[in-house]
Amino acid sequence: MESKKKSELPGLTFFFVFTLVVGLLRELWTTYEMFVDYNAFWGTEYASIAAIDIGLRLIELAMYVGMLVFIALRKRTFLICFWVDYGCRVFSLLCVLVMGGPAASFLTPLVLPTIWAAYFYRSSNFAHAFTPYKPPFFSFEGMAPVTPAESPAGAADGSSSPQTPDAPAAAESVSPPSPPEAVTPQPAQEELPVSVPMAAPSESSAATSVATSPSSVPQAEAVPSSSAQHRFCKYCGAEYGPQDTVCPKCGKRVRYFSPSKPHVPLLAALLIISLVGNIILGVVSVKQSNEIKENQKVLDILASLSYEPKIGDPWENTIIGFSKLHVAIVTPNGEVYHAPGCQYLKAAKSLRIYSVSGAEQLDYAPCSVCH
């Protein structure tokens, strides 16, 4: 009796497993670096952001491990882990966009998962490799998977073993010439000579029927060739069709998606998400580059004003002296005002310029480094 074995992974799915292993190792190292880098943020206003980021990383690690385990078991449950990981990536991108951070490094990881999702829902090789499978607990013959000849579908079609002698005899009893002879009443003594010669013609007729009917030979040869395409329920052993998602006998789910079912709306939604994300990335990148250029121009102008006073000129009349006495530069989240050329202004994303008196009225204190 044939034994059912686990199907081998398709080439692209094997490559996906390889990328999962590489991604798992990379995420482990990235999470360790985040724990080290975020050590300075605990107890500050950025602690919640650090906690959310680390939490998402830990969820991604758990999903990577879950996908590897379920793929090894040939279960489509790994798609649930796949979509949870995809959702974490989208949530990270939205958080970065809201906070005004660089979204390029968070949008790029969404491209490959989108392509993999299209492969998972469109590939027939993937659907056949991940048909639900449950190996028997024991190696007894009674617990082995059902063969195509023993399947309920084969019994319903009447395709029993053609080697039994009862099949041709039954065929002769159904043929038109035999019923009138069987209906005619005859003595019991004459039944024996009638039944004895009927045995030989039955064998000859069976031989002639096998030799003359060409349809019987291809049917016997077609059974082993079509047995590779049969699918059997892992709960009751009944056969189900290639398009069935629920067992026709026990009613339990045997697969999540039909191989030939079109998933055009799902693919269109994924494509729209990718396009919208790329457009948002482009807009945010342009805004950030413009802000960086404007800040750099302001810093260059302020740095060019910091030159030594001329000999003989009063210090108050020089530009550097005037700027230190009357110009106050403030960062959006700062509590002190700085003079032009202060080192703390180089890392600022945006600047605000006030007069010294106006800055002091707004409760800004002078910087201890530049004043």
Mean pLDDT within 186-215: 45
Is the distance from CB of 72 to CB of 14 less than 8 angstroms?
no
> Does the pLDDT of residue 110 top 70, yes or no?
yes
Which is higher by pLDDT, 113 or 258? Answer: 113
Q: Evaluate if residue 238 carries a pLDDT over 50.
A: yes
Q: Supply the pLDDT for residue 165.
A: 42
What is the pLDDT averaged over residues 66-82?
Answer: 82
What's the pLDDT band for 202 if we cut at 50, 70, 90? very low
Q: What's the average model confidence in pLDDT over 260-280?
A: 64
**Gap between the Cα atoms of 243 and 262, Å rounded:** 12
Q: What mean pLDDT comes out for the span 238-255?
A: 82
Which residues in 62-73 are b (16+ Cβ under 10 Å) and which e? ebbebbbebbee
Rounded Cα distance, 108 and 268, in Å: 19
For residue 12, which of 93, 99, 107, 122 has the smallest C-alpha distance?
Answer: 122
Among 134-138, 140-144, 285-289, 355-359, the range of highest mean pLDDT: 355-359
- Is the pLDDT assigned to residue 309 strictly greater than 60? no
6: confidence class by pLDDT, cuts 50, 70, 90: low
pLDDT of residue 163: 45
Nearest residue to 161 via CA among 231, 236, 216, 240: 216
End-to-end CA distance of the chain: 92
Tell me the pLDDT tens digit for each residue of 141-189: 333 344 444 444 444 444 444 444 444 444 444 444 444 444 444 444 4
* Share of residues in the chain with pLDDT > 90 (%): 0
pLDDT at 313: 55
3-state helix, strand, coil in the chain (%, to 5): 60, 5, 35
CA distance 171 to 313: 127
Q: Is 246 strand, coil or helix? A: strand
What pLDDT does residue 282 have? 65
**Residue 278: is its pLDDT beyond 70?**
no
What number is the average pLDDT over the span 94-112? 68
Mean pLDDT over 37-60 rounds to: 73
How far apart (Å, rounded) are the C-alpha atoms in residues 167 and 206? Answer: 9
pLDDT at 267: 62
Whether 93 contacts 87, CB under 8 Å: no
Residue 25 backbone phi and psi in degrees, to 5:
-65, -40
Instruction: Report, in angstroms and rounded to the nearest whole number, the Rg of the chain calculated over CA atoms.
Output: 40
